[in-house]
């Protein structure tokens, strides 16, 4: 499935970057990586943050 954005769609680069930064701060692992095992505390923290964004 290839879902294309409408031609007038815009991405807020600051919001996108802030989202990536927030998610990358949860469960940092080795340099440049993450360690969020399924059903771990860090996985729950990330999912809870996502839920607040959706609400």
HSE toward the beta carbon, residue 7, CA cutoff 13 A: 0
Global pTM value: 0.67
More confident residue, 4 or 37: 37
Mean pLDDT of 33-55: 91
Q: Residue 2's pLDDT band (boundaries 50, 70, 90)?
A: low
- Per residue in 13-33, is it b (16+ CB within 10 Å) or e — as a string? eeeeeeeeeeeeebbeeeeee
pLDDT at 43: 92
Distance CA 31, CA 43 (A): 19
Residues 11-43 have pLDDT tens digits of 899 999 999 999 888 988 888 788 889 999 999
Whether the predicted pLDDT of 1 surpasses 70: no
DSSP 38: T
């Amino acid at each position: 499935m290839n879902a294309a954005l409408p031609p007038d769609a815009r991405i807020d680069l600051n919001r996108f970057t802030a989202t990536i930064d927030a998610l990358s701060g949860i469960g940092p692992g080795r340099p440049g990586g993450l360690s969020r095992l399924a059903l771990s505390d860090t996985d729950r923290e990330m999912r809870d943050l996502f839920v607040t964004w959706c609400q």
